[in-house]
Amino acid sequence: MAAALKPEGSLAERDFPELVHHLYERNFSGSLTLTHGGFGKSVTLEDGRLVFASSSDPDERLGELLLRRGRVTLREYVDAGRAIAPGRRLGTVLVEQGVLPPKDLVRAVVDHTQEIIYGAFLWTEGRYRLQEGQRPAEAITLNISTPDLIVEGIRRINSWARIHRAVGTLESTYQRVEGYGPVAAKMTLTDGQLEILTSLLEGDSLDAICARSILPSIEVCRALWAYRVIGLVRRLDAPTPAAAEPEDDGLGDVLG
């Protein structure tokens, strides 16, 4: 049994991918606030889906994202920034100034939200806080499954120490979980990612899985980590966590 999830806690103790899946399984609706290094992220969830996100990090603002990707010029970026006023967001200004068509703004906001969320997968320190019941007030929200977000978020993690801790050694063994098919069928997986699941035999070692896959070994390890978090595969040699003592810390009120 996994350790109980508190309404507030440390990301060093509760890894972000596991935290996201925990909320997904419980159909949590509300806000997840993350803080680290003087910056904060706020993620809105609706029935376990991550539908919107914002960040106080200047490098994670919409304008900076558009500038980095060549969607706006430096002149357009500066001019739009000067026109921002209370009640007028950068995206609205860019549309009014003819820099972005409305449909491109929608795509940019969705992309921006995803990037903020994916950035949170890289955090290994900081704090999280849950607040139940808030609903998204945004007109543009994500429509991506939480399992797909977890797979992509983990795919962006470059820390081998984290990946190695999650997947184990070459001798670590894995098996598929019964009922994996319907879950995997609803996900957007590449042929290589899907092949890891469909070809997995009970007791397969990490060494054998990597050798058989068409993907680079690092991608295999990331995929296995994501599948473990989502519940599609089980690592047979992983130690079983001790059952947590019941806690009267408001968890029932937060997660229903």
Supply 12's token pair: 């060093």
Lowest mean pLDDT among 40-44, 209-213, 224-228, 238-242: 238-242
Cβ pair 174, 200 in contact under 8 A: yes
Contact 230, 147 (CB under 8 A): yes
Assess whether pLDDT exceeds 50 at residue 251.
Answer: no
Query: In whole angstroms, what is the distance from residue 25 CA to residue 42 CA?
Result: 20
**How much is the pLDDT for 248?**
41
Whether 1 has a pLDDT exceeding 90, the answer reads: no
Q: What is the pLDDT of residue 134?
A: 66
Beta strands in 77-188 (DSSP E): 127-132, 173-176
| Residue bearing tokens 């992309």 | 111
Please state the pTM of the whole predicted model. Answer: 0.86
The distance in angstroms from the start CA to the end CA of the chain is 19
Q: Can you give the pLDDT at residue 158?
A: 96
pLDDT for residue 246 is more than 60: no
Q: What is the pLDDT of residue 133?
A: 86
Over residues 18-32, mean pLDDT: 95
d(CA 114, CA 132): 22
pLDDT digits (tens, 9 = 90+) for 65-85: 999 999 999 999 999 999 998
| pLDDT band at 38; cut points 50, 70, 90 | very high
Give the pLDDT of residue 80. Answer: 93
Residues 6 or more apart whose CB falls under 8 angstroms from that of 221 comprise 163, 164, 166, 167, 206, 210
**CB contact at 8 A, 136 and 52:** yes
Name the 3-class secondary structure at 41: strand
Please write the tens of the pLDDT for every residue from 93-125. Answer: 999 999 999 999 999 999 999 999 999 999 999
Q: What is the pLDDT of residue 222?
A: 98
Residues in the chain: 256
Domain ranges for the chain, please list them. 10-144, 148-235
Confidence of residue 87 (pLDDT cuts 50, 70, 90): confident
User: Cα 12 to chain center, whole Å?
Assistant: 16
Q: Quick: pLDDT tens for 155-196.
A: 999 999 999 999 999 999 999 999 999 999 999 999 999 999
